[in-house]
Structure 1
Amino acid sequence: MRSSPSVSRVLARPPLAGSYAAAVALVLLALCPFLVLTTATSLMRPVLLRDLHATPFELQLAIGLSNAGYAFGAVAAADLIQRVPRRHVYFVCEAGFVVASVVALSARGIGQFGTGIVLQGLFTGLLLVVALPPLVTRRNLRELPTTAAVVSIGLFGMVTLGPLLGGLIGDGGDWRLLFGVIAVLAAAGFAIGLLSFSPNEPLAPGAGFDWLAIPPALAVTVLPFFGVSWLTRSTFGSLVFLLPVVVGLLIGVVLIVAQYRARDPLMPVRPISNTLPVAGIAGAMITGATFTTLVELTEVFLLAAPRYSPVKVGALLTTQLLGVLVAALIFRRLLPTRWTPVLALSGLLSIAAASVVLLTLSASNAAAVVPVAALLLGYGAGAGVTPGLFLAGLSVPAAAIGSIFALVELLRSEAAFLVGPVLLHFAQDRGVTDSGYRATVAIVLAITLLGALLLVGLYLLGGARPHRPDLDAWLGGQGGAYHSPPLAARLRKG
């Protein structure tokens, strides 16, 4: 018996399908639960090691592979939505995230816990590409700046709450309760999806599995993250560290080159190989890596030198959230203007300023210095990463933004979650309360300053003049909003 046309229309269009607030809530509930965990676990380590009877290597491997799952999931989603409707993928991922959270919170050993958090990372990476692009590409120019601010808060605002939550649990709280709350939030996201996610068709129903992108992306994420995790039980000279990292990064280079040369690539590298998107992606990678490193390094120093409790460490770092909110509000105002590249550069310079402040950190002045540095770090993350993401995404047609987000998040995650553990291990080898801390902060400062010079050099050599993005044309599917000169265009003319 066929349904009546009226019933079919009701089933085809959920009651909140046109609601902007519901679309925003859907994205935040899809992304924030796992992103909070990425910065909460460092201050929860002693509790997790005790309750799960785990070694430091086992716990670090579980955390590292969960981050790898997030990066790989974004690429896998770009391929999957070619053949499967986004709505179906969304519900499977949200339901899977709930199950993964229950698996983790009920774990009595590191094997089950690691399985749970790796799946959490994988499903969140998938949700990034499934849930975020429909919000960004809504055909309402007035909503887009607010959406940009929401993306910034979703990607980094909740990340900055992680240390406080991790500190509360590290001081004797119940980490299982945190995972339970996260499962409930994911279930709420599932419910909102039922009310607001409209049915849709796959992007390319006849497309086959992308063998040239997916297996290499898996290797690019799993191998280096495994190698870095091995540092918890070895040294920089260990082949078990060096081989996976070097091989994984080489495969990454091959993947990018192959996508650039492919006739119909999963991730369109060629359209974003111009000045503005390359500068945006490079800035996002450097900012993400230095931000993560300084936050983790500061936590380790505060626990070791003044011997602060985990909750006090987390509380001192909460001014990051204010910095992210300021950056998000500024980005909301600047997105329709020509100043987004300048904002992205200011984020990197703010990380450099935070590094200078942290060079003065000592056991006696930590309570005054850390909140200032954390404010600068939060602004730097919000101003440096999300604008860079949009510089790349707005340089291609709106229909391709999901694939671009997947590529940028792969590269950004690779940088952020590899550089941080390596530099942290370097600091601990030299003594985090002695020369190791300041030497590592100095290295981060040098990276940020060189990164800022790189961005300025890219702009100058490319001859990229700041211009307003053509958002009307972009939302209308008429091409990219930014029209950027080729890399080193001025040198090519010469």
Structure 2
Amino acid sequence: MRQGPLAGRYPAVAAMVILALIPYLALSAAIDPLVPIITAQLHMSVQTMSLSSGLGNAAYAVGTVLAVQFAQHLPQRRMLLAYAVVLAVGSVVAASAVNPAMFIGGHVLQGLATSMLLIAAAPPLTIGFPKEKLRNTAVIMNMCVFGAVALGPFIGGAQAESQAWRPLFWIIAGIAVLALIMAALTFEDAPPADLDAPRDLPAIGLAAVGCAAAFVGASQLTTHGFGDAAVTLPMFGGLALIVVLVVYQFRSRRPLLTVRTMLTSSIPVAGVGVALFAAAASVAATALTANVLLQTYSPVHVGLLYLPELGGAVVMAVVFGIVITRRAMHYLPLVGMVLLAAGILVFQVALPANQPLVLLAAGLTGLALGATVAPALFVAGFSLQSNSLQRVFAIIELFRAVAAFMVAPILAHFATTVSIDLAIGTSYALWIGFGLAVGGAVFGVAVYALSGARPQKPNLDEFLDGDDPAWHSPPLLARIRPGVSAAPDVPSAVTAPAVGAPDVDVEPTGMVLIAYDGTDLADFAITQAAARLGTGCEALVVCVWQPVDVGFSPTDEQHFDADRATEVRGAAERTAAHGADVAREAGFVARSVAVEAVPTWKGIVAAADDHDASVIVLGPHRRSGLLGHLQGSVASAVVAHTERPVLIVPQYQDVS
């Protein structure tokens, strides 16, 4: 397929992402005031309408898993175009619905396509452009998700004022068609991510059945009690299947989702946890309070009272764009949870009808939403390599959808049944939301403290190059687990002699250990080491590897699954053998070995100790600008943890 005329242009790609995500997310927040109108015109019950929303939300959750699977085996950008077609078709079907089946079918297609577009389009926008664009991407992602949601109540209220629902749905359909047009104009063909990846039908089945059952069960709370089998069996059965999905992916040798990596590393666990708590708590702060206000004010009036939520989301989106390159990014979700707790407390005082306090509470909630979920998503994503970003987004959106969309009907049912006075019942529910907000803040701080994690400035050069995560994330609970180190692999002063220093004279008295990662810089380090140390020396070429993150650049084109340790080990052994060939050509008497270790410096130091190396040779990666003056975090850590001489080749020069 030919490229679109706007392919590779950031403004056009960003516009496509905005148009793709806004329709369903805005509609999901705008639909509540329209329920009486839709049910009357389409002759459907309130329970059927609740089922429609539940199935749409379930489709949104399942779409995250499907998008990851399709990306492995099908051309990614062609699939993005297909998802845009589904969104447009679903929006048109919903807008033109003449019966409940058409409406539900269109709404389900909207939810499914939106999450698949999010997984397919957002990561390329994040890592496919220079880091200077990352600030803009952060603002766009925040506004797409939470700006649209914050604007929803006003849009829905304004439409409900005219006693019609189709005009809004046709506008949504028009935006979806524009998204399709932009997807075609920005089309840039891309191959599948990994043709050797497994087709994980059990994971897809567990996600589909689990989400559908859980959301259908929750939707039954509109007309059934919490103890009814029609509620408990599907809801708890579905949640159990989602738990089985997580355990299955955690234990799988070749998982579709990187659950194991995320749930064993401290910063991703903190980020995911905060996002879930925030998503659940925000329901109490918005949807429930709106129901109380609708008893006093018209839908459009209530929508106006919630407009400060949009303003808060805009302000915090800009703040997020500023701090995404700074250490302060780690603190933003915590600030958001505090603001969310404060907003819920103000809502407590504002109900049933104190307009100034409602405006203040809405503003605090908007600030909180902008500071929590999207920043927490990036905090988790930066803790892994950039090629994992799509799967990170998928996991977080799957969990967030379950937390947010399932908690809403549960808390709504609680508010209406705990007291005959809706305002009093909602007040009780708000205390639950307050507890979730405080619990989320405590959870995030506790994970950092017990794991030895610390706020760090992200190394975006390493992250966007795909070499390493943006920062070090210690193992989960490293400080209280015996034998687990929380020490980060961070740059420190390198005092070892480097190639090019005029007074360096290294004379090895034993084996030379050469750390090799398969890059051109590593080849250059070998040849320079031979020139410095002399030919005829015995050399051991070591390639350090680890599953999932790999840790090296394969020197052949043989496919392997990064989540499968045996395949990564084989690729590492081939890479090390290639390095030994390069060493022999340079004049060494060389052999090779692959070593599994995390972080990389530990494997290098351990191999040097095991083989009593007389000198360690390293070729650290460098960056331009200020970062170019640093020698590299692995080299720094090796120097800091060994008493053996370390020869560093600090600069690769292409002499071809």
Distance 1:431 1:296, change over 3 A: farther
Distance of 1:396 and 1:362 partners within structure 2: 43
Aligned: 1:440 with 2:429? yes
Distance of 1:13 and 1:396 partners within structure 2: 31
The 5 A counterparts of 1:331-346 are: 331-346=320-335
Distance of 1:470 and 1:109 partners within structure 2: 53
The 5 A counterparts of 1:17-36 are: 17-36=7-26
| Corresponding residue SS for 1:360 | helix
CA deviation string 1:318-368 (max 9, x = no partner): 111111111111111111111222101111111100111011023452x11
CA contact (8 A) 2:76 2:192 kept: yes
Give 1:421's aligned amino acid. P
Q: 2:481 corresponds to which residue?
A: 492
Distance of 1:134 and 1:73 partners within structure 2: 18
Q: 1:376 corresponds to which residue?
A: 364
The 5 A counterparts of 1:155-194 are: 155-194=145-184
Distance of 1:360 and 1:20 partners within structure 2: 45
Distance 1:485 1:208, change over 3 A: closer
Report the identity percentage: 38
Distance of 1:52 and 1:377 partners within structure 2: 34
RMSD: 1.4
Post-superposition offset of 1:493? 4.0
Q: 1:289 aligns with which of 275, 280, 283?
A: 280
Distance of 1:199 and 1:173 partners within structure 2: 45
Post-superposition offset of 1:126? 1.0
Post-superposition offset of 1:414? 0.3
Distance of 1:439 and 1:220 partners within structure 2: 29
Aligned: 1:105 with 2:105? no
Distance of 2:315 and 2:293 partners within structure 1: 26
Structure that is richer in strand per residue: 2
Aligned: 1:454 with 2:443? yes
Aligned: 1:408 with 2:393? no
Post-superposition offset of 1:432? 4.7
Q: 2:301 corresponds to which residue?
A: 312
Distance of 2:372 and 2:122 partners within structure 1: 19
Distance of 1:336 and 1:59 partners within structure 2: 43
CA deviation string 1:182-228 (max 9, x = no partner): 11111111111222120111112354521231001112211110000
| Corresponding residue SS for 1:158 | helix
| Corresponding residue SS for 1:266 | coil
Distance 1:460 1:489, change over 3 A: same
* Runs of 5+ consecutive residues of structure 1 not aligned to the other structure: 1-10
Post-superposition offset of 1:108? 2.1
Q: 2:348 corresponds to which residue?
A: 359
Distance of 1:238 and 1:443 partners within structure 2: 23
Rg (Cα) greater in structure? 2
| Corresponding residue SS for 2:256 | coil
Q: 1:425 aligns with which of 406, 413, 428?
A: 413
How many residue pairs get matched? 481
Give 1:193's aligned amino acid. A
CA contact (8 A) 1:280 1:341 kept: no
CA contact (8 A) 2:88 2:180 kept: no
Aligned: 1:148 with 2:138? yes
CA deviation string 1:372-429 (max 9, x = no partner): 1111111111100001111121122211211111111000000000111101110011
TM-score (norm. length: structure 2):
0.72
CA contact (8 A) 1:271 1:395 kept: no
Aligned: 1:201 with 2:196? no
Q: 1:300 aligns with which of 265, 275, 291?
A: 291
Distance of 1:377 and 1:299 partners within structure 2: 13
Distance 1:386 1:479, change over 3 A: same
Post-superposition offset of 1:110? 1.6
| Corresponding residue SS for 1:53 | coil
Deviating beyond 4 angstroms after TM superposition, the runs of 4 or more aligned structure 1 residues are none
Post-superposition offset of 1:51? 1.1
Structure that is richer in helix per residue: 1
Distance of 1:218 and 1:482 partners within structure 2: 34
| Corresponding residue SS for 1:312 | helix
Distance of 1:267 and 1:95 partners within structure 2: 26
TM-score (norm. length: structure 1):
0.95
Q: 2:455 corresponds to which residue?
A: 466
The 5 A counterparts of 1:59-98 are: 59-98=49-88
CA contact (8 A) 1:13 1:198 kept: yes
